[in-house]
């Protein structure tokens, strides 16, 4: 690491008192409470990455013509720091670094080098270690990058800010695991071949919100997207990948092919499932098959997975024209087992055979 990208620490002049922090962390929900510090690093075409700072969390001052506000050159990551018996750890943060680099490439942005990404995330976790909840909470970390050049012409910007902020979060499932209900969207798709579906960019979320609102109107927790070309193949949820557990010992999940976000939870779950003797089939699975297999009992369990909720059983599926449920309404045995193995590794209560856990403090 060169000096140019070393992160300079400018501690908060008046950090939150222990009492105030405890009060805010008591029932934090998701993404509403923020820690004291942030990291920012600047990129310009002439200097590359420079001016890395860990400092008091504060609003950005950006020009009204900043490219991100007009052409949405923005990407992000989502990851968590966990408080374990052996200290504070991250889960596969190198994978987040790699994925951010892939997203950057797709949006014609400069890559954040892996060591700079890890330095930034770890510096923030160390500075705000007191904000890492115990129990089943965690410190949600949000690395992100946006185009900060004041220019209204359409081309890749020549200035960017990479930043990391942190938010203590409670367990996604307060008061026990419960199956989520999903709405299968007819009208909207999330991504198309050649599009940005495999990049973690804000624009994908902007495009998914109207479908998520439609799901809510139909009384569902989440939206399921089908493919854009045939409206037939199950792709993923708004922010989670999806897996199907069959009666023949196989686990089916849609293949990564550019339209699906390559989830780190998905990848970890597939590894654990394989070790549990399940046969992994990354293959297209249609909504018609889903319905038929649920009705015949061939489909035993379905679950969604992602960093925020980890693993969430899918109970009821609604669509234009009806609904069906999966026999094992919610947390089936395979879903429960895979979740508990993954959470055990993240929380340091199960052996980390794959070297997925990275100690920070
Ligand atoms: C982030 C994200 C996921 C889950 O990825 P994880 O690395 O498991 O958190 C799935 N789908 C979409 C659209 C996402 O943005």
* Nearest Cα residue to 34 out of 20, 51, 48: 20
Residue 329 pLDDT: 58
CA of 264, closest atom in ligand 1: 7
Cα–Cα distance, 112 to 48 (Å, whole number): 10
The pLDDT assigned to 161 comes to 98
Looking at the DSSP assignment, which residues form a beta bridge with residue 39? 54, 164
Residue 175 has pLDDT above 70, yes or no: no
Average pLDDT rounded to a whole number, residues 1-17: 85
d(CA 160, CA 130): 30
| CATH 2.30.140.10 is right for the domain spanning 180-346 | no
Which residue CA neighbors atom 1 of ligand 1 most closely?
A: 239
Distance of CA 121 to the CA centre of its chain: 15
pLDDT digits (tens, 9 = 90+) for 92-136: 999 999 999 999 999 999 999 999 999 999 999 999 999 999 998
- pLDDT surpasses 60 at 214: yes
pLDDT of residue 177: 79
Atom of ligand 1 nearest to the CA of 190: 13
Query: Does 307 sit in the ligand 1 pocket, CB within 6 Å?
Result: yes
Give the pLDDT score at 176. 72
Which helix (H) or strand (E) segment is 56 a member of?
strand 48-56
Residues of the chain with CATH 3.30.470.10: 7-169
Helices (H) and strands (E) in the chain, counts: 8, 18
Q: At what angle do helices 264-275 and 333-346 cross, to 10 degrees?
A: 110
Q: Specify whether the CB–CB gap between 337 and 276 falls below 8 A.
A: yes
State which of 77, 78, 211, 356 you would mutate to test the pocket of ligand 1, scoring each by most atoms of that ligand within 8 A of its C-beta. 78
DSSP H stretches of helix in the chain: 18-25, 68-71, 93-106, 114-127, 202-217, 264-275, 287-296, 333-346
pLDDT of 346 over the 60 cut: yes
Domain 7-169 has CATH 3.30.470.10: yes
Which pLDDT tens digit goes with each residue over 74-84?
Answer: 999 999 999 99
Which atom from ligand 1 is nearest to the alpha carbon of 265? 8
Burial, 308: exposed, middle or buried (Cβ in 10 Å; 0-12, 13-18, 19+)?
A: middle
Residue pLDDT, tens place only, 36-86: 999 999 999 999 999 999 999 999 999 999 999 999 999 999 999 999 999
| pTM of the complete model beyond 0.95 | yes
Q: Measured from the CB, is residue 236 less than 6 Å from ligand 1? A: yes
Residue nearest to atom 2 of ligand 1 (CA): 239
Q: How confident is the model at residue 145 (pLDDT cuts 50, 70, 90)?
A: very high
C-beta separation of 212 from 223 below 8 A: yes
Q: CA angle, corner 130, sides to 129 and 133, nearest 5?
A: 95
């Amino acid at each position: 690491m060169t000096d140019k990208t070393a992160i300079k620490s400018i501690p908060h002049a008046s950090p939150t008192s222990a009492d105030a922090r405890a009060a805010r962390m008591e029932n934090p929900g998701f993404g509403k409470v923020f820690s004291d510090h942030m990291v920012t690093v600047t990129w310009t075409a002439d200097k590359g990455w420079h001016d890395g700072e860990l400092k008091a969390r504060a609003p950005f001052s950006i020009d009204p013509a900043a490219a991100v506000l007009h052409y949405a050159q923005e990407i992000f990551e989502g990851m968590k720091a966990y408080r374990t018996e052996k200290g504070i750890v991250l889960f596969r943060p190198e994978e987040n670094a790699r994925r951010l680099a892939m997203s950057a490439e797709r949006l014609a942005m400069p890559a954040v080098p892996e060591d700079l990404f890890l330095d930034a995330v770890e510096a923030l976790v160390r500075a705000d270690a007191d904000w890492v909840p115990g129990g089943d909470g965690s410190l949600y970390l949000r690395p992100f990058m946006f185009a900060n050049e004041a220019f209204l012409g359409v081309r890749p910007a020549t200035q960017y800010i990479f930043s990391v902020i942190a938010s203590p979060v409670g367990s996604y499932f307060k008061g026990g695991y419960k199956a989520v209900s999903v709405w299968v969207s007819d009208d909207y798709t999330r991504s198309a071949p050649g599009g940005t579906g495999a990049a973690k960019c804000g624009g994908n979320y902007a495009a998914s919100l109207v479908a998520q609102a439609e799901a809510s109107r139909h009384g569902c927790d989440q939206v399921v997207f089908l493919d854009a070309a045939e409206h037939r193949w199950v792709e993923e949820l708004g922010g989670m990948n999806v897996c199907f557990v069959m009666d023949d010992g196989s686990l089916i999940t849609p293949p990564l092919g550019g339209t699906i976000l390559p989830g780190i939870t998905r990848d970890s779950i597939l590894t654990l499932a394989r070790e549990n003797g399940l046969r992994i089939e990354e293959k297209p699975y249609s909504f018609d098959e889903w319905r038929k297999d649920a009705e015949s009992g061939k489909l035993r369990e379905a679950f969604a997975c992602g960093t925020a909720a980890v693993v969430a059983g899918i109970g009821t599926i609604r669509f234009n024209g009806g609904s069906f449920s999966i026999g094992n309404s919610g947390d089936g045995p395979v879903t429960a087992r895979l979740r508990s193995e993954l959470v055990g590794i993240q929380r340091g209560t199960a052996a980390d055979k794959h070297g997925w856990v990275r100690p920070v403090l």
